[in-house]
Structure 1
Amino acid sequence: MLLKNRLRHWLLAAATLAAAPAMANNPVAPSDSATIKQIYDNALTSTKSYEDLRYLTKNIGARLSGSPQAAAAVEWGRQVMNKMGLDRVYVQEVMVPHWVRGDKEIGRVLSGQVGSTDVNIAALGSSVGTGESGLTAEVVEVHNFEELEKLGKKKVKGKIVFFNRAFDNTHVQTMAAYSGAVDQRGGGPVAAAKLGAVAVIVRSMANEIQDVPHTGNTRYQDGVDKIPAAAISTKGAELLSKQLKNDPNLKFYMRMTCENLPEVLSYNVIGELKGTEKPNEIIVVGGHLDSWDLGEGAHDDGTGVVQSMEVLRLFKDLGIKPKRTIRAVLYMNEENGLRGGRKYAEEAKAKGENHIAAIESDAGGFTPRGFGMEATPAQIQKALTWKPLLTPYGLHEIGAGHGGADIGPLKGQGTVALIGFKPDSQRYFDYHHTDIDTFETVNRREMQLGAASMASLVYLISQYGL
């Protein structure tokens, strides 16, 4: 026991010495550590954010832009923040796309050797449909755009292009694997259509071999034919690839009744606590209120929404008076248009608002690891001086990184630092954009720790700026 006590004291002393130079460059009040402890204590013992998530996912459900559920989520978010007694709660008009999936999709491999095999597919967001009778054609498999170009029109015209580039699972950070594969989903249909393809199938954006298709948005281009585009489960992709090797002339049948309807008026929802000393310096914390129409949008991005509101609740419940203004923004239409993020930035610029930081939670409700910053070296260095206050709570990864899609349009407006909340990423792409992204997959404590992490960083920025 004595040895353990000595070791504990030595480690504490070493940590204090290591932190001393950083803390000296950015003095903080002794009370800051106590305030952050209060934030965590409150977040971990309150079930408010978890019950909010339960209501959003179970009572409202999937919330694709333009849907009645998205409209219900707007009203829900407004009511939840109104009940907090904030200084201001308001909505911000934004026109959004209205895409509907239609009937459950049908995908079928038609091989002369093994017969007919059903596979799970899901239409990609913004895709056109196949028509009521569906579409049947031969398949050509590619792994990248270079392979597609080498095939040329002669080998692609009239066929379905199958993009089968898997995640590079040597990446420890799964977001890097996603970034290395997602271009085939976004740009695949246009590239294939230019060569005369009649449809596109894209391997799902997932690490694991599973039988769940992962949807996500795709993009079309003016002057290029719009062709149907679907995601196929990773298990289905493996099967299709294997059968193609044995039977290059096999065909694929797909039926999708999705369609794009006229745009719909929707809203961002915003709650605000006014700063006591520098109210014109604004700190945003946010997530996106919309989700894909599959599942319940729990990790993507229900957790980000309730964590952002929880930041304001923690300040109110603990009586913390922010020196700078804090806004929680529940953005609409991140998934298939980013209209909410663009609208917020557009109005902020028109009003001449001064945003000093924007924090986004859109990577799931998993165990916190830190924050990635799109910021100046000086801003990153200042955030690093707070590591001694944050590392006891597991926030070790603080440095340059990705901010977030919704806050991205703020870039270039003054010296705003764009900050992405970084939870552990290993399980995120099991659920991302699928029908298994449900409330039950969210661990309450992990999500609460994330809210407390965000609130702690917001508190420090509010106190000392960037």
Structure 2
Amino acid sequence: MNKLHTIGFFILLCSAFAKAQLVQTSQADSLMLKSIYDYSLTESKSYEWLDYLSNNIGGRLSGSIQAQRAVEYTEKEIAKFASRTELQSVMVPKWTRGTPEFAYIQLNDFSTINVNVCALGGSIPTREAGIKAGVVEVTSLEQLAQIGRKEIEGKIVFYNRPMDPTKIQTFEAYGGCVDQRYSGAEEAGKYGAVGVIVRSMNLRLDDYPHTGSMSYGDLDVENYIPAAAISTNDAEKLHTYLSLDKNLQFFLKQDCTVWGDVESYNVIGEIKGTKYPNEVIIVGGHLDSWDLGDGSHDDGAGVVQSMQVLETLKKLDYQPLRTIRVVLFMNEENGLKGAREYAKQAKAKSENHIFALESDAGGFSPRGFSFDATEDQMKVVHSWKKLFKPYLIHYFEKGGSGADVGPLKDSGTVLAGLRPDSQRYFDFHHAANDTFDAVNKRELELGAATMTSLIYLFDQYGVVDNSMD
């Protein structure tokens, strides 16, 4: 055999060997994912943990006793399978709802129709006797300028822009109208309004008002006004009555209180990497929730799924190459203080976070992930799609990740968010029906398995680079 033939044969042999290695690696990964899903669907503790968080602790608004109990409970459970746990101190805002809100529409014949409302998080209360005023209906913040102070002063502004039902991505529909909830009181206060009522962020018609964070921005304190959400059914009702009688009155009474900041904690647990311990992979959700329900979907599901990632890997006797860390963030709902504190301390310690995965879209059937990553990194992710096909996971797209992992972006970390089916999520989001019975055990466990599988793959193969486009 001449020299050229020898070289050619060697190249073919190397190529065949490389292909065999790839097949072997793919088979090993497939078997690992099968083990992860099998364990999650038969021995997972996620549903049990969620049951306790929801039914024994309840709504976990930051600064509350319930939030502190959740910190203590989750840290105790994580310690059973993590090599290290930590309670990371963070100062968070405290706001309490007080006695239940009350509201009604008063018609020109003095008859009244009670309506379902709830104070928005961060709102001031009404005076003790409540407020009663005429109503100005708008569908945008910009419309206030068109109407002018003369028509708005002394009245209640009713923001009635619904979520767009034509948006298949329901979070896009949410983003298209949440400005009226967050900034509605700030803008209406500039024109002398005495209060605001905001249509709930909900795609269906029901009687549940949905709370959420709001801000007074740079408004002078003397111009702060009470802000409340109204259920979608009652928003429709108020709109109809206003079309018949522009002079009707609306009564609102709420008893909420804005307190100073108090100490709380991010809950952290990790399994140390065996080969690259200084490369950190995190998975997490936010431990706080609103107070109307028990926060099972938002974000109890994300909390227990993230805990389950570490517990599953531990029980399968998987030895991670990189340090895998679960982080349960405090104060996502009304401040994001926990996420910012975690990123701040990570930077101060010069920690190298290569990947961060968040679950904060409910405990529904997983569909895949969205990634904040470079094109080269996405090519690697797309090469894993075939591994997820047997589990009906198909969505691997560039896009947003999550609010709590977002502050890590500046460090060049690849970010991702679990994307469950979102069509029913806003039926429960920030409302009193976000309770344990609304979560399906199998769907919750499938989400945990899907997250664990992605964490495993990033641990095995790392990232193409650690710098973003």
Equivalent of 1:309, from 302, 307, 312? 307
The separation in 2 between residues aligned to 1:240 and 1:230, in whole angstroms, is 14
In the alignment, which of 214, 219, 226 is matched to residue 218 of structure 1? 214
Alpha-carbon distance between aligned partners in 2 of 1:63 and 1:333, rounded to the nearest angstrom: 10
Instruction: Find the partner of 1:72 among 69, 72, 75.
Output: 69
Provide the rounded CA distance (Å) in 1 between the counterparts of 2:369 and 2:328. 20
1:444 to 441, 445, 452: 441
Task: Specify the code of the residue in structure 2 equivalent to 1:354.
Answer: N
Partner Cα separation in structure 1 for residue 414 and residue 244 of structure 2: 53
1:150 matched to which residue of 2? 146
* Distance apart, 1:30 and its partner CA: 2.5
Q: 1:208 aligns with which of 178, 186, 204?
A: 204
Deviation per CA, 1:159-189: give whole Å up to 9, x if none: 1000000010001111111111111100111
Whichever residue aligns with residue 202 of structure 1, its letter is V
Q: Does 1:30 align with 2:27?
A: yes
Q: What secondary structure is seen at the aligned counterpart in 2 of 1:330?
A: strand
- Mapped contact 1:23–1:385 kept (Cα < 8 A): no
Q: Which one has a bigger Cα radius of gyration? A: 2
What are the within-5 Å matches in structure 2 for residues 28-177 of structure 1?
28-84=25-81, 86-113=82-109, 115-177=111-173
Give me the whole-angstrom Cα distance separating, in 1, the residues matched to 2:42 and 2:341.
36
8 A Cα contact 1:26 1:382, kept in partner: no
- 3-state SS of the aligned residue for 1:33? helix
Q: Name 2:246's counterpart in structure 1.
A: 248
Deviations 1:68-99 (A, max 9, x none): 00000000011001122x21111100000110
Query: Structure 2 vs 1, CA of residues 27 and 190 (structure 1 numbering), >3 Å: closer, same or farther?
Result: farther
1:363 to 356, 361, 364: 361
* 1:431 to partner: Cα distance: 0.5
Deviation digits for residues 166-224 of structure 1 (CA, Å, limit 9, x no counterpart): 01000111111111111110011101101111100000000001010000000112343
- SS of equivalent to 1:356: strand
Poorly superposed stretches of 4+, deviation over 3 Å: 22-29
Question: Quick one: distance in 2 between partners of 1:24 and 1:243?
Answer: 71
Q: TM-score, normalised by structure 2?
A: 0.93
SS at match of 1:355: strand
How many residue pairs match? The answer is 443
1:59 deviation in Å?
A: 0.4
Three-state SS of the structure 2 residue aligned to 1:35 is helix
- 1:341 partner SS: helix
Aligned residue for 1:264?
262
How high is the sequence identity, in percent, across the aligned residues?
Answer: 54
Distance in 1 between residues matched to 2:289 and 2:357, nearest whole Å: 19
CA displacement 1:373-396 (0-9 Å, x = unmatched): 111111112111100111211110
Contact 2:62 2:93 in 1 (8 A): yes
- Measured in 2, the distance between the counterparts of 1:374 and 1:238 equals 38
SS where residue 345 of structure 2 aligns?
A: helix
Q: Which runs of 5+ in 2 are unaligned?
A: 1-18, 464-469
Give the Cα separation in 2 of the matches to 1:124 and 1:419: 29
- In the alignment, the residues of structure 2 paired with residue 439 and residue 23 of structure 1 have an alpha-carbon distance, to the nearest angstrom, of 48
Which residue in 2 is equivalent to 1:320? 318
Say if 1:213 and 1:234, in contact at 8 Å, map to a contact too.
Answer: yes
Cα 1:240–1:197 change in 2 (3 A) is same
Q: In structure 2, give the amino acid aligned to 1:167.
A: M
Residues of 2 paired with 1:202 and 1:62: CA distance?
A: 22
Cα distance between partner residues in 2 of 1:299 and 1:144: 29
Q: How does 1:190-209 map to 2 (within 5 A)?
A: 190-209=186-205
Counterpart of 1:409? 407
Q: Distance in 1 between matches of 2:97 and 2:206?
A: 22
Deviation per CA, 1:8-47: give whole Å up to 9, x if none. Answer: xxxxxxxxxxxxxx99999944211100100000000014
Distance (whole Å) between structure 2 residues aligned to residue 24 and residue 379 of structure 1: 22
8 Å Cα contact 1:280-1:325 kept in structure 2: yes
Note if contact 2:186-2:219 (Cα within 8 Å) is conserved in structure 1: no
Structure-2 residue corresponding to 1:391: 389
Q: Secondary structure at the match of 1:171?
A: coil
Q: Is the 8 A contact 2:183 2:217 kept in 1?
A: no
Paired letter, 1:373: F
**Does structure 2 conserve the Cα–Cα contact (< 8 Å) formed by 1:23 and 1:386?**
no
- Between the aligned partners of 1:424 and 1:23, the Cα distance in structure 2 is 37
1:299-327 CA-to-partner distances (Å, cap 9, x unmatched) read 00000000000000010000111111111
- Secondary structure of 2:410's partner? coil
Q: Is the 8 A contact 2:44 2:312 kept in 1?
A: no
CA shift, 1:122, in A, is 0.4
SS at match of 2:259: strand
Among 350, 353, 357, the alignment partner of 1:352 is: 350
Amino acid in the other structure paired with 2:55: K
TM-score (norm 1): 0.93
Within the candidate set 435, 451, 458, 1:461 is matched to 458
Asked whether the 8 Å contact 2:190–2:219 carries over to 1, the reply is no
Q: Which amino acid aligns with 2:130?
A: G
